[in-house]
Amino acid sequence: MADDSQKISLIMALRRQGIHDPNVLGAMERVPRDLFVPEAFQDHAYDNNALPIDCGQTISQPYIVALMTQALDLNDRCKVLEIGTGSGYQAAILSHLSRRVYTIERYRTLHAQAQERFHTLGLTNVTAMVGDGTKGWPDQAPFDRIIVTAAAPDIPENLIQQLKIGGKLVIPVDNGPDVQELVTISRHDEGVERRDLIPVRFVPLVEGVAKEL
């Protein structure tokens, strides 16, 4: 288990990197990242780095988690869709800042691990399923916010259609060979508005449910 000094050091690092929303910083401090990190990397759970998890995936760098969360501009009335549950860490952060979180994972192994962590933390406002994240979650649409934790070749139109008017989508998008850009999409009556944030590196957004041995 991490001591408080490691958490405090991480929060201070996030502040220096421009994370200013006190609610986001509070959620980052409250959620135990060590619970979401493989045992072999426990000593690095509060480093400001991405770390490997099962199925060839990663748990994102805390700064990127905080930046994407801050960009969503959440409130406690928001209904949020997350594409790519992974370890469950991002969903856990979202659960403290929104009314309800729906999260989709294509790997059954990761889904089962995340479900166990949500149960351990008593997160009753998170609903998770195994599925094709590229299709979103039409049965639960529309959403106030959508976050995608894998890089898409372009902005998925079906996710925009599952977003409420006035809602926001945060997603990494391919922006040339080996280049990805983290962008926010705001949906308005007259269309959508795109804002580019920073260059990033994410695993690709893949269609379908993964086949596992």
Catalytic residue flag (residue 95): no
Catalytic-role residue among 5, 9, 60, 186: 60
Residue carrying the six token digits 């780095």: 49
Nearest CA-CA partner of 129 in 139, 144, 120: 139
CA distance 135 to 137: 7
51 phi and psi angles, rounded to 5 deg: -135, 150
128 phi and psi angles, rounded to 5 deg: -120, 150
Residue 146 CA: distances (Å) to CA of 4, 7, 136, 171? 31, 27, 9, 8
Catalytic amino acids? Answer: 60
